[in-house]
Amino acid sequence: MIVCGIDPGAKGSAAWLNADSGEIVLSRLHYQDGLLDYRKIWNDAPGDVSLCFLERVRGRGGWSATANFSFGGNYQQVRLCTKVFGWDTINIEPQQWQKIIHDGIQAETPKTRSRLAYTRLFPDDPLPRNRNNKHNENDIDALLIAAYGVLVHRRKIVRPGGIVSWSLDPAS
């Protein structure tokens, strides 16, 4: 089962997590002249995607109308892209996946909680970094969204009635 998690935006990322093998594929979203390069997403996908979880975004107070419009436009392009690919896509609020993935983590900011959650779920994998050797928060969030998708999928489909373990281990 391959689950995709997408953190949309101008510097957004897509992550695919194979729940059976543990393979992780990360891909940055690329835009040219304001248009999403959908071919890159299609070419980077490591196989048939079972489910796609797309983080729903909303405009932000304090931003200009143009900035909010562009931000929403990027989200809609990604949303359209997943529909064209035929991926079953679930739009989720950031608070939905963070509530589960950040459970038990005490830290000041959501980004810090995400870094800690990443190291908890993927202890053998280093945190993704960008060209400046800084943590790539969009890659981290996209992968955590995919991990949330695996957990939700297992809870609802693999073991109806409830799961007590939130392990990503396929044997659990």
Domain ranges in the chain? Answer: 2-158
The mean pLDDT of the chain is 80
Q: Are residues 12 and 28 in contact, defined by beta-carbon separation less than 8 angstroms? A: yes
Decide if pLDDT at 67 tops 70.
no
pLDDT tens column, 144-170:
999 999 988 766 433 334 433 344 444
* pLDDT for position 147: 93
pLDDT tens column, 18-51:
988 888 999 999 888 888 898 999 999 998 998 9
Q: Where are the beta strands (DSSP E) in 20-145?
A: 24-28, 31-32, 35-36, 51-55, 89-92
DSSP three-state, residue 24: strand
Q: Are residues 144 and 97 in contact, defined by beta-carbon separation less than 8 angstroms? A: yes
Decide if pLDDT at 61 tops 70.
no
* pLDDT for position 133: 67
Residue 53, Cβ neighbours under 10 Å: how many?
26
CATH of 2-158, one of 3.30.420.10, 3.40.50.300, 3.30.1280.10, 3.40.309.10: 3.30.420.10
Residue 16, Cβ neighbours under 10 Å: how many?
24
Q: Does the model's pTM come out above 0.85?
A: no
Decide if pLDDT at 97 tops 80.
yes
Q: Are residues 13 and 118 in contact, defined by beta-carbon separation less than 8 angstroms? A: no
Decide if pLDDT at 111 tops 60.
yes
Q: Between vectors from CA 41 to CA 134 and to CA 68, what angle results, nearest 5°?
A: 70
